[in-house]
């Protein structure tokens, strides 16, 4: 239903113990709830509230967001490559909509 | 007496900023937000490096990076990084939750700034200590004005 598009940039392969850089972006208005529309009515708040990353089923990184984060929120962070497994990136907004991106990381010795 | 000029100013006071001026955070609200995170524990200066433009032409999106000097091991790591404003409608803008599996304590995102102000990065370490860095930012086009 949503037009939101989420993208994650990360390497597909890393050596065990390497720190990999990850960039994640999602298309989302991050409407603050402060702006009036053309009729002077307040536009309701609509923001991504949470973002988290699981690696092999374990949460390894997370964020709590507010309307203080810009529209189309972009995050850069890192993860320690420990095992060959799936990384699942999940965004949840304040209307209960959930967006996920799954990436596979191959870890070499 | 209501003058035309007074009515225009009164209207501007709300619509130009998109919200009543009273809801803009103050340095006191920043300190309260920090105290809510630290439960009153002392906050040291250092170990945290906040990288943010000194002049932000567009307050709607200000690229901000926070790095913390930490080995990020199971015994010694950063638990959380908070970015806190003093002149925004809300003080705590974003919280990053980290652990040893993050590998490094360096995070970036784009924040909104409603006015020129000091921005604070606050790090919470696994030993229970808190560290911060603060930088002044001059905002040319503020967020929260019409179109923001």
DSSP string, chain B: ---HHHHHHHHHHHHTTSS-GGGS--HHHHHHHHHHHHTT--EEESSEEEE--SEEEETT-EEEEEEE-----SSS-EEEEEEEESSSSSSEEEEEE--GGG-S-EEEEEE--SSSEEEEEEEEETTS-EEEEEEEEEEEE-TTSTT-
pLDDT tens across A11-24, in order? 999 999 999 999 99
Give the mean model confidence (pLDDT) for residues B72-82: 97
Backbone angles phi, psi at B4, to 5 degrees: -60, -40
Give the mean model confidence (pLDDT) for residues A31-53: 93
pTM: 0.87
CB–CB contact B90 A68 (8 Å) = yes
Q: What was the pLDDT predicted at B125? A: 97
* pLDDT at residue A75 tops 50: yes
Mean pLDDT lowest among A16-20, B12-16, B121-125, B139-143: B12-16
> What is chain A's Cα-based Rg?
16
CB–CB contact A19 B92 (8 Å) = no
Q: What was the pLDDT predicted at B24? A: 67
- What ipTM does the predicted assembly reach? 0.93
Q: What was the pLDDT predicted at B126? A: 97
Residues of A with a Cβ under 8 Å from any B Cβ are 19-20, 32, 34-36, 40, 52, 55, 58, 60-71, 73-82
Give the mean model confidence (pLDDT) for residues B88-100: 96
Q: What was the pLDDT predicted at A40? A: 87
The per-residue pLDDT of chain A, averaged, comes to 94
* pLDDT at residue B144 tops 80: no
Backbone angles phi, psi at B51, to 5 degrees: -115, 115
Give the mean model confidence (pLDDT) for residues B39-50: 95
Q: What was the pLDDT predicted at B76? A: 97
CB–CB contact A68 B92 (8 Å) = yes
Distance CA B51, CA B55 (A): 12
What is the percentage of chain A residues whose pLDDT exceeds 90? 88
Of B18, B102, B108, the CB nearest to A79: B102
DSSP assigned state of A95? T
Q: Judge whether B131 and B120 are in contact, CB under 8 Å.
A: no
Mean pLDDT lowest among B7-21, B51-65, B91-105: B7-21
Cα B38 from chain centre: 16
Residues of B with a Cβ under 8 Å from any A Cβ are 15, 18-19, 23, 60-62, 65, 72, 83, 85, 88-90, 92-104, 106-112, 143-144, 146-148
């Amino acid at each position: 239903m949503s037009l939101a598009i989420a993208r994650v940039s990360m390497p597909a392969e890393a050596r065990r113990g390497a720190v990999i850089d990850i960039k994640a972006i999602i298309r989302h208005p991050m409407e603050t709830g402060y702006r009036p529309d053309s009729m002077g009515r307040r536009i309701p708040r609509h923001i991504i509230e949470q973002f988290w990353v699981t690696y092999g089923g374990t949460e390894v990184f997370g964020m709590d967001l507010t309307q203080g984060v810009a529209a189309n929120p972009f995050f850069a962070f890192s993860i320690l490559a420990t095992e060959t497994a799936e990384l699942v990136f999940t965004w949840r907004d304040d209307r209960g909509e959930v967006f996920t991106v799954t990436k596979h990381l191959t870890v070499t010795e | 007496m209501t003058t035309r000029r007074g009515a225009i100013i009164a209207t501007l006071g709300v619509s130009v900023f998109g919200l009543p001026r009273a809801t803009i955070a103050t340095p006191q609200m920043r300190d309260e937000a920090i105290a809510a995170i630290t439960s009153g524990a002392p906050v040291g200066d250092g170990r945290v490096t906040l990288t943010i433009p000194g002049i932000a032409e567009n307050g709607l999106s200000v690229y901000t990076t926070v790095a913390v000097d930490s080995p990020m091991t199971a015994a010694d790591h950063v638990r959380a990084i908070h970015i806190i404003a003093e002149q925004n409608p809300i003080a705590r803008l974003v919280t990053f939750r980290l652990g040893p599996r993050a590998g490094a304590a360096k995070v970036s995102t784009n924040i909104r700034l409603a006015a020129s102000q000091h921005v604070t990065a606050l790090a919470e370490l696994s030993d229970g200590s808190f560290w911060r860095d603060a930088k002044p930012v001059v905002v040319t086009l503020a967020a929260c004005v019409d179109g923001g």
